[in-house]
Amino acid sequence: MTTQYTIVLIAYVSESRIAAEDDFWSRATAVIELTDAFPEEALLGLADFSHVEVLFLFHQVAEEKIVIANRHPRNNPDWPAVGVFAQRAKSRPNRLGSTICRIISVSDRRLTVAKLDAIDGTPVIDLKTRDDSVSASSTVTQPQWTHELMRSYWSSHSDK
């Protein structure tokens, strides 16, 4: 059985921030620009949605950093040691990131979004419209440690 699969990079992130840090993703906007392999019309109609789901690669994570056994998120002993698939840490198999972003504008091959937690140069592998019926917008529960972990995620340094 095949256990690998090859994907193409469909776009790249720019006008975001340069450094990979865990927190403080307060920058207003980022740009996602399709590669030349895709026509401008691949984004046609996207501006009618408020949000887009961005699938991307944590491309700066080194292979040897990927942990598949359980560990304390961010190595914080106050939080339970959990498996890699019970967290959203970037040091994960396949290094895939997924964030639902607010759409600011769509122009030519460029999509400008708010709240994208990906640095400049990040390769994007898919864009999907965010749909209520597959997003479990209600009845969600998650452990307390995840709220603590995300406390400074979308804030600026000065909010510290």
Site for its own copies in 44-83 (CB under 8 A): 44-46, 48-53, 55, 57, 68-70, 80-83
Contact 11, 127 (CB under 8 A): yes
Interface with its own copies includes 107 (CB under 8 A)? Answer: no
Q: Out of 21, 22, 37, 65, which residue is the one contacting its own copies (CB under 8 A)?
A: 37
Shortest distance, position 158 Cβ to its own copies, whole Å: 19
User: Would you say 142 or 158 has its CB closer to its own copies?
Assistant: 142
For 104, other C-beta atoms within 10 Å of its C-beta total 14
Round to whole Å and give the CA distance between 131 and 65: 33
Interface with its own copies includes 23 (CB under 8 A)? Answer: no
Round to whole Å and give the CA distance between 30 and 102: 11
Round to whole Å and give the CA distance between 119 and 157: 16
Interface with its own copies includes 154 (CB under 8 A)? Answer: yes
